[in-house]
Amino acid sequence: MLYLGVLASGRGSNFQAIVDAIGAGSLAAAVKLLIVDVPGAFAVERARKHSIEFLYLDPKESPSKDAYFARIAEEFAGRGVELVILAGFMRIVRKPLIDAFPNRIMNIHPALLPSFPGLHGQKQAAEYGVRISGCTVHFVDEGMDTGPVIIQAAVPVSPDDTDDTLSARILKQEHRIFPEAIRLYAEGRLKVEGRVVRIAGYEAGEDAVLINPPLP
Ligand code: GAR
């Protein structure tokens, strides 16, 4: 059983997808603590509903950004968290948390990295006029959306897409690949070599076009 700590800033639909995968028995994990950095983040309602412990930590109450992330690391470590999940967490993670959980922090980003990092990946893609976009689960390093890629899923983009229509299409795939990446981690199948992640038992093939690696 893998112990998860989740960070979220808003709606929390990815958090919900992870909780649902655990509930369905497809992910052998437990969320030990949800931390939000925004008061009233809807993710908290989801935690409450599932009797998951949660905390609101106000970044303004910490003397520095590093101190804020040191506090987060302390809260997670104190509950035996093994893997930290950024589920719509809208801050750049600082060194104290990364050092406490090296290659043990995962983020979901709503674009095919390294394209369109930062905020509003879906809007950036729609406005750029790309034909394909998607989402990426990656390990977190000190850069902005730069860590080793674990799984990506692609979706088609139409010139008629708006930020909203493209976001909805991408979100469906986010909800598939995020629990899957955590499952691969829980099964001990992810190995980071430099910036490349190897997945034990997976070899790239022709069927890996839309989701890479293909889901079982
Ligand atoms: C998701 O689309 C996620 O990929 C994105 O925020 C949304 C959160 O939705 N994350 C980022 O942009 C991180 N830079 P959710 O709160 O419903 O999971």
Phi, psi of 18 (to 5 degrees): -70, -45
Count of other CB atoms within 10 angstroms of residue 8: 27
Structure tokens at 57: 């930590």
Residues with CB under 6 A from ligand 1: 8, 10-14, 87-88, 108-110, 121, 171, 174
Whose tokens are 């839309």? That residue is 210
Structure tokens at 190: 């992810």
Strand 149-156 vs strand 132-139: parallel, antiparallel, or unpaired?
antiparallel
Q: What is the pLDDT of residues 142-181, one digit of tens each?
A: 999 999 999 999 999 999 999 999 999 999 999 999 999 9
Q: What is the pLDDT of residues 88-105, one digit of tens each?
A: 999 999 999 999 999 999
State what percent of residues in the chain have pLDDT above 70: 97
Degrees, nearest 5: CA angle 11-16-17: 120
Which are the catalytic amino acids?
Answer: 109
Adjacent-strand bridge partners of 54: 34
pLDDT at residue 208, as a whole number: 56
* Domains of the chain as residue ranges with CATH: 1-102 (3.40.50.170), 107-216 (3.40.50.170)
- Measured in Å, residue 104 CA sits from the centre of ligand 1 at 19
- Measured in Å, residue 8 CA sits from the centre of ligand 1 at 9
pLDDT at residue 214, as a whole number: 78
- Measured in Å, residue 88 CA sits from the centre of ligand 1 at 4
Which three-class secondary structure state does DSSP give residue 1? coil
Q: Residues 182-194: what's their mean pLDDT?
A: 96
pLDDT at residue 100, as a whole number: 98
Nearest CA to ligand 1 atom 3: 88
> Of ligand 1's atoms, which has the minimum distance to the CA of residue 110?
4
pLDDT at residue 203, as a whole number: 74
- The answer to whether the CB of 5 falls within 8 A of the CB of 79 is yes
Please confirm whether the linkage preceding 213 is cis (ω < 30° from 0).
yes
Q: How far is CA 168 from CA 72, 123, 132, 156, 209, in A?
A: 30, 12, 14, 12, 20
Adjacent-strand bridge partners of 139: 106
- The answer to whether the CB of 196 falls within 8 A of the CB of 121 is no
d(CA 5, CA 15): 10
Q: What is the pLDDT of residues 25-76, one digit of tens each?
A: 999 999 999 999 999 999 999 999 999 999 999 999 999 999 999 999 999 9
Confidence grade of residue 205 (pLDDT, cut at 50, 70, 90): low
> Of ligand 1's atoms, which has the minimum distance to the CA of residue 118?
14
> Of ligand 1's atoms, which has the minimum distance to the CA of residue 167?
2
- Measured in Å, residue 44 CA sits from the centre of ligand 1 at 15
Q: What is the reported pTM?
A: 0.96
pLDDT at residue 207, as a whole number: 58
DSSP 172: H
Structure tokens at 155: 């979706």
Single out the residue of 88, 90, 83 nearest to residue 170, CA to CA.
88
Q: What is the pLDDT of residues 96-132, one digit of tens each?
A: 999 999 999 999 999 999 999 999 999 999 999 999 9
pLDDT at residue 104, as a whole number: 98
d(CA 36, CA 14): 14
Per-residue pLDDT for 215 more than 80?
Answer: no
